[in-house]
Structure 1
Amino acid sequence: MIRVYILLLLVCSTTFNSYTQELNSKVLVSTEKLQSSEKLLFEEMENSIEQFLNNQIWTDDKFNTQEKINCNFIINITNEPSSNQYEATVQILSSRPIYNSSYETILLNHGDREWIFEYFPSQTIEFVENGFNDNLTSLLSFYAYMIIGIDYDSFEEKGGEESFKLAWKILNTSQNSGYKGWDQFGSRKNRYWICENFLNPEFEKVRKAIYSYHIKGMDNLY
């Protein structure tokens, strides 16, 4: 009986471990422009953000380890207006492997110059689906869905529609927060416009081109 129980545990463990979260994110927090000696705090921030992005389950889809989406968040903190509040410029990149090769193509390479957020020692970053928790959580969640949406578009025609709608939902719940980048009145390159473009029917040809370029083009080269 004990052997059967152990075998069952091993089978279940193998089954559950064969699937994983969607993102394989690498995070770099740079403080070169900031006069601060709190090195351990920023290392903790870096690890906390990376763990949040990689451990959160963003969709109902099952991902094998090798299917995880590679992405990078380079967070360059430029100012600390008040205690535990930070201003930053952030570069977000994601890539997609080409079938039967070691080559990857860049899907997203976007710079966001309007990150303002609070971070406290030992802070837990927790995703809230139907509300605004804090700006850091909203920023990370928004870009997680944008990354997933663009990746899905490259494998299926308009495959990222649901992810873009979830990013739009986060954008809507964040607009009353008072933080920059969430509304249509700022930069034409801000979060509002990047998400609006992907959901706008006028952008549909570009989304279909992303799919054709990868599935009908790059994936057939090797």
Structure 2
Amino acid sequence: MKQILFIILFFTISFQSLSQELNCRISINRSQIQGSNEELFRAMQKDLYEFMNNRVWTNNVFSNNERIECQIQINLSKYNGIDKFTGNISVQSTRPIFNTNYKSTLFNYKEDKDFDFYYTEGQSLEFNENTHLSNLTSVLAFYAYIIIGLDYDSFGLNSGTVYFDKAKQIMNNAQSDPDNNWKAFGTSNQNNRFYLIEHITSSENAPLRKFYYRYHRLGLDVMSDKPELGRGQVANACQFLKQVYNRKADSYFLRIILTAKTDEIVKIFSEAPVQEKKKVYNILKEIDPTNPKVDKIMKTGQN
């Protein structure tokens, strides 16, 4: 009987260790908070790390080397001395490129301002995707599903849909929370969690999800073996950006993609043949005209 229990326990632990999807670094910046308890913030960082990395977010099995690399930084600006915190949150995720040591940025989001939450040392961080239990865990889970959804989209066309739907459900559940970042009217411009998930899932922005797949799976993943073919697919993927820009020049999702990808695109095409350079340069110059980095494409590399 003990042997059977041991075998069951062994396989349960092994399955859980293979199922966790994220390898998420957590950074807490408390430099603006005077006279704070260092132990409290160490405990907060540890608890947030365990919440993101020990939880199983999908039904799929991940080995350790398949876990999604990501980072969450919380810059705290206020603490009431008891349990309430205010700050900004930044989220970044990357994706490995096939047959290389290179990691490509998928998401680089720094627009989550005035993030309010409650935390006390030793509390249990509870989350239920069907109800809003706390702003802290809802925000963390929201970004976990955004990260996973974008990663899945980069490997299979529209494969992240189920995870974006979960993020949207979290947003809907949080409408009663005082945090205005969950609401359509929460900010003077459309830069919050509500608009982030609304724009990702909008049919108007469907070509941007095609961009993620073509750019990464058909483009970057091919470049180590067939650089010309892979680069050509990256150039073709940029047409999806232009397609959305022509429909809706102020697309929030488009701007988020440009923040994450422009430097990389410039680097790829700085060494490309002149015709490819011009093709991509013209697209980027049209959709991101005030970005001086775009001009580097035509100033370096082949002529």
TM-score by length of 1: 0.93
Q: CA deviation at 1:83?
A: 2.5
Residues matched between the structures, number: 221
| Inter-partner Cα distance in structure 2 for 1:7 and 1:137 | 33
TM-aligned CA deviation for residue 67 of structure 1: 0.8
Q: CA deviation at 1:82?
A: 5.9
Q: Where is the strand percentage greater, Structure 1 or Structure 2?
A: 1
Q: Report the Cα distance in structure 2 between the residues aligned to 1:157 and 1:181, rounded to whole angstroms.
A: 29
Percent identity between the aligned chains? 34
Assess if the C-alpha contact under 8 Å between 1:126 and 1:137 holds in 2.
Answer: yes
Paired position in structure 1 for 2:64: 65
- Residue 181 of structure 1 aligns to a residue in which SS? helix
Distance 1:32 1:11 in 2: 43
Q: 1:121 to 1:204 in 2, by over 3 A?
A: same
* Cα separation, 1, equivalents of 2:105 and 2:197: 18
For residue 210 of structure 1, the aligned residue among 209, 212, 215 is 212
Alignment correspondent of 1:92: 91
Q: What is the rounded CA distance, in whole Å, between the counterparts of 1:62 and 1:203 in structure 2?
A: 29
Aligned residue for 2:228?
Answer: none
Q: Runs of 5+ in structure 1 lacking a partner? A: none
CA-based RMSD: 2.1
What is the identity, as a one-letter code, of the residue corresponding to 1:204? A
Q: 1:83 to 1:155 in 2, by over 3 A?
A: same
- Which residue in the other structure is 2:42 paired with? 43
The answer to whether the Cα contact below 8 Å between 2:127 and 2:134 also exists between their aligned partners in 1 is: no
Q: Say if 1:92 and 1:110, in contact at 8 Å, map to a contact too.
A: yes
Pick closer, same or farther for the CA change 1:35–1:173 going to 2, 3 Å.
Answer: same
Match in the other structure for 1:22: 21
* Structure 2: gaps (5+ residues): 225-303
Q: 1:122 to 1:135 in 2, by over 3 A?
A: same
Q: What secondary structure does 2:87 align onto?
A: strand
How does the TM-score come out when normalised to structure 2?
0.69
Q: CA deviation at 1:8?
A: 4.9
What is the CA-CA distance between 1:64 and the residue it aligns to?
A: 1.2
What amino acid is the match of 2:193?
R
Amino acid at match of 1:131: T
4+ residue segments displaced more than 4 Å = 4-11
Higher helix share: 2
**Does the Cα contact within 8 Å between 1:81 and 1:87 map onto a contact in 2?**
no
